[in-house]
Amino acid sequence: MANLPVSSTSRELSSVGDETTQNMFVTMTIANQVFGIPVLKVQDVLGPQRIAHVPLAPPEVLGSLNLRGRIVTAVDVRTRLGLSPCDRKQSMSVVVDHSGELYSLVVDKVGEVMSLPTSDFERNPSTLDPRWAEVSEGIYRLQGNLLVVLDVPRLLRLEQARAA
């Protein structure tokens, strides 16, 4: 899934050596951990929204919301990662497009857009919690902390998460 045709730069995500290649990420934090999503995948950044609950939905799905006439499914990334549910009043979300459907990934806070050199990219450490490893594309070493690159298609594969 790493070679999604997002942009020419992200395709070279795993090619090491070319220090000048930069990838742009929208960063966000969940439980003090920094995460990133390739900026070109992001459609919108939203503040707290009125989310309509969907009965019987998996726990990760907070519900659906109306974004300019389109129905967007809100997914709580915290629950998806096995953390306690998000605070609906304060959380922010990043809207991404996945196979023609819009999803709003609810996180604690959305930060800035960062441009990161591929030389700082590393694969997932083998000891990473499997729940995290499943949705992480890899890790960027930042100054002072680490950024986990979220693999959106995997993040939205809820059925498998439940079956696992």
Partner 1 sequence: MDDLLKDFLTETSESIATLDLELVKLEQNPNDPDILSNIFRLVHTIKGTCGFLGLPRLEHLAHAGENVLGKFRDKELEVTPEAVDIILASIDRIKSHLSYIEQNEKESPVGDDEDLISALNAMTEGKSQTAVEGPSKVEQPPLAKALAENSAPEPDEFGFVPVRAGDMAAMEENMSGTKNEQPSAAQENSKALLAVKAQDEQNKTTVTTSVADQSIRVNVDQLEILMTTVSELVLTRNQLLQILRGEKDSAFSSPLQRLNQVTSELQEGVMKTRMQPIGNAWAKLPRIVRDLSHELNKKIELQMLGAETELDRQVLELIKDPLTHMVRNSADHGIEMPAARIQAGKREIGTITLNAYHEGGHIVIDIIDDGRGLPASKIRAKILEKGLATESELANMSEQQILQFIFKPGFSTADSVTSVSGRGVGMDVVKTNVEKIGGTVDFKSVAGKGSSFSIKIPLTLAIVSALVVECQNERFAIPQISVVELVQASPTSEHRVELINETPVLRLRNRLLPLVSLRKTLKLGEENIQANGNAFIVVVQCGNATLGIIVDRVFDTEEIVVKPVTPILRSIDAFSGNTILGDGSVIMILDLNAIVARAGNMTSHIEQSSASSTATSLHNGAKQSLLLFRAGEGTQKAVPLSLVARLEEIDRKTIEYSEGSPMVQYRGKLMPLIPAIADEKISTEGSQAVLVFADKEKHMGLMVDEILDIVEERLQVDLSARRPGTLGTSIIAGKATDVLDAAYYLSQCSQSWFGEDGESFEGDKVHRVLLVDDSPFFRNLLTPLLTVAGYEVTAVETAQEALKLQEDGAAFDAIVSDIEMPGMNGFDFVAALRAGETKWSKLPIFAMSSHATPRDLERGRQAGFTDYVAKFNREGLLNALQETLKQGGING
Looking at 2, 15, 16, 58, which residue binds partner 1 (CB under 8 A)?
Answer: 58
Looking at the Cβ atoms of 39 and 57, the one nearer to partner 1 is 57
Looking at the Cβ atoms of 15 and 66, the one nearer to partner 1 is 66
Contact in structure between 137 and 149 (CB atoms under 8 Å): yes
Looking at 5, 55, 130, 144, which residue binds partner 1 (CB under 8 A)?
Answer: 55
**CA dihedral of 139, 61, 52, 29, whole degrees rounded to 10:** -20
Strand order, beta sheet including 70-76: 42-46, 92-98, 101-107, 70-76, 61-67
Contact in structure between 27 and 114 (CB atoms under 8 Å): yes
Segment near partner 1 (CB under 8 A); pick from 9-17, 109-117, 125-133, 153-161: 153-161
Q: Which of residues 91-150 bind partner 1 (CB under 8 A)?
A: 99, 101, 103
How far apart, in whole angstroms, are the C-alpha atoms of residue 91 and residue 107?
Answer: 6
In terms of DSSP bridges, do strands 121-122 and 92-98 run parallel, antiparallel, or are they unpaired?
A: unpaired
Min dist CB 70 to partner 1, Å, is: 8
Looking at the Cβ atoms of 104 and 136, the one nearer to partner 1 is 104
Contacts with partner 1 by CB under 8 A lie at 50, 52-58, 61, 63-66, 69, 71, 73, 75, 99, 101, 103, 156, 158-159
